[in-house]
Amino acid sequence: MTDRLESREKVTGTARYAFEYPVENAAYAAAVQASVAKGRIESVGAEDALKLPGVLAVLSCVNAPELSDTSDGELALFQSRTVSYRGQFVAAVVAETLETAREAARLLRVEYTEEAPDLRLLADHRGLYKPDKVNPAFPADTEQGEPEEAFGNSAVRVDAVYTTPAEHNNPMEPHATIAEWGEDGTLTLYDSNQGASTVQSTLAKIFGLEPSRVHVVSPHVGGGFGSKGTPRPNVVLAAMAARAAGRPVKFAVPRQQMFATTGYRTPTVQRLRLGAGEDGRLNAIIHDVAEQTSTVKEFAEQTATPTRMMYRAPHRRTAHRVVALDVPTPSWMRAPGETPGMFALETAMDELAAAAGIDPIELRVRNDTDREPESGLPFSSRNLVACLREGAERFGWAERDPRPRARREGRKLVGMGVASSTYPAYQSPNRAVARAEPDGTFTVRIAAADIGTGARTALALIAAETLKEDLRNVRVEIGDSSFPRASVAGGSGGTAGWGTAVVRACEALLGELDGAVPPEGVEASADTREELKNREEYARHAFGAQFAEVEVDVDTGEVRVRRMLGVFAAGRIINPKTARSQFIGGMTMGIGMALMEQSVMDQEFGDYLNRDLAQYHVPACADVRDIQAEWVEESDPHLNPMGSKGIGEIGIVGAAAAVGNAVHHATGVRVRDLPLTPGRILPEL
């Protein structure tokens, strides 16, 4: 168990985040958001704003410089008069102080020609279409056998519709950037992001620069959950404002503005059909998904992809349909696709267990498979059954009365639920450099990101092990685009991808050393691009099982999670201390998804009504009474040099379904629409 290497800096406040870097003569930017959901900007009245003392510049479609690359509509700031959604950035003010900038932004007068927006996701929306692919590059639809016929002929069937709402990431640190242009035309960005290399390459294209002329600095990031996986409008706005003002500019997106400009999880409408024999063995799985994107940029979430590999069934179909609405563009949020998709699948599996009269764990065991059902590839390792069995023993599943509504304690109905979880074991090419210093220590550099996951510590442990050195003699430097290029902190692939590059760089360094280090040191580098080719012989996934015990107040419909347990099979766990934190954090977000998180769209004006943490509810300590994470030992030689799988996202994947299934067991009520609020549960009790 290793403490985070940066823990002292974080708790003492010396860890420097994006907005805190000292720059000379810094100005501040404030953004103006569109007040209509669809329309056209007719005029921008800046006279009153420019009269305010301390105002340095106003930017809008009237005077903004032309950008070199506008292929990403969300980042093409002020390049068009079209308003695509309410809350879109339509102007910005730069001033000597933040207070002046915000006041001047209030004084801007933007006039619009307004059109009626289309805002509601419906399962039968006439604008639904089949996307070319779903995130990141999966086919939209798959089909094997005769699923409709097989479903119709099944002895036991489940046919239900499940919905999940829009949800917002809400990291603790807002999206923040300091932008500074050098006299030589170079751009320096102190930015909160999940990948300095990605920000560097993206901003270079947008402003027509060579990547080497963009320097991104982000060693400490206060959370992201996917919302900082790619650059957001804030970084473009800061860079544009700094050029207009001729001095460094700071811009942090206020919490209320984040709800329209930094991404969110798409709402979904999912129809799940499961057909099985009387013994519970699946004959047919049909999973149809409807979700939304924007008119600005397509993002199609891969909601049904976990259904393609989770359980064995000879007849199967998955399909994604997307509608482009007048809303902000959805994007990545912790375990995109798997999280809403597995809520529907694992709830349907619970319903199938009830319909067949089979224990929910036994049903999952009977439908386990050693090969990925659609591709036919063998799993590099799959210990789902071990997680279910271990979790059942630890949680006391055998003591559970299978009858719904069988346990009552005063006003409280008590029940237990289970759900499986899974996440792909992704790995991307990366580069790293390792250096033996003259003083006998070692330095490893890679443009990785630590968004609170403990990545810096894991990489140091990997380097120390490879070098056969004490951890105290190894320093890992990350979060800087001047370091070797790295993939984003996303897809639970950071440690696998970055760690492989670190291992190879350290191995190369050991090969360069002959027992002595020259006065100037010795350095070696690695690039894993070639190593990661031709990896199609195995299907690589992590698996887990999550258990929840809930109490439901019969008078109010309020649900409380008494205890929760997750047991995971994720290859070798590099650092148990930070790993447990990741698992628990994911399950905590799953409790939020199950019981409280939802972004409510105003169907008249086209804006999210609950745009702050006073109204968008996330779990607090009182909501997480007893939550435990464990893992089974798993050795998988087909992954990477460390034998590790990603752990940042699997914790959330099955959590909401486990809570929902426990609510059904407690009450006999099946609520298929998240979140499980008192208003949804009480009328059914």
Cα distance between residue 474 and residue 444, in whole Å: 8
- Compute the distance between CA of residue 346 and CA of residue 683 in angstroms, rounded to an integer: 24
Helix (H) or strand (E) holding 57: strand 55-60
Using DSSP's 3-state secondary structure scheme, residue 506 falls into helix
Cα separations (Å) of 390 from 536, 623, 630, 633? 31, 25, 9, 11
With contact defined as beta carbons under 8 Å apart, do 430 and 424 qualify? no
Whose tokens are 């009365």? That residue is 401
Beta carbons of 564 and 595 less than 8 angstroms apart: no
At 240, list the tokens: 């544009």
Q: What is the DSSP letter of 317?
A: E
What is the Cα 564 distance to its own chain's centre?
A: 22
Question: Which tokens belong to 431?
Answer: 């580069």
Is the bond leading into 675 cis (omega within 30 degrees of zero)? yes
- The one catalytic residue among 149, 633, 649, 684: 649
Residues near 464 by Cβ (< 8 Å), separated by ≥ 6?
470, 471, 473, 474
Supply the Cα-derived Rg of the chain in whole angstroms.
26
Active site residue 649: yes
130: which 2 tokens?
A: 């089949």
Phi/psi of residue 37, each to 5°? -90, -20
Residue 138, both tokens = 């999966």
Query: Position of tokens 């708790």?
Result: 11
Helix (H) or strand (E) holding 345: helix 338-356
Distance CA 219, CA 215 (A): 13
Rounded-to-integer distance, Cα 180 and Cα 177, Å: 10
Contacts of 612-616 with CB under 8 Å at 24 or more apart are 612/255, 612/256, 613/170, 613/255, 616/168, 616/170, 616/259
H helix count then E strand count, the chain: 17, 24
Name the token pair of 566: 């997750």
Nearest one of 267, 198, 104 to 600, comparing CA atoms: 267
Contact 247, 318 (CB under 8 A): no
- What is each CA distance from 437 to 164, 394, 440, 646, in whole angstroms? 53, 48, 6, 31
Provide the 8-state DSSP code for 330: P
Cis omega before residue 165 (within 30°)? no
Q: Which residues are catalytic?
A: 649
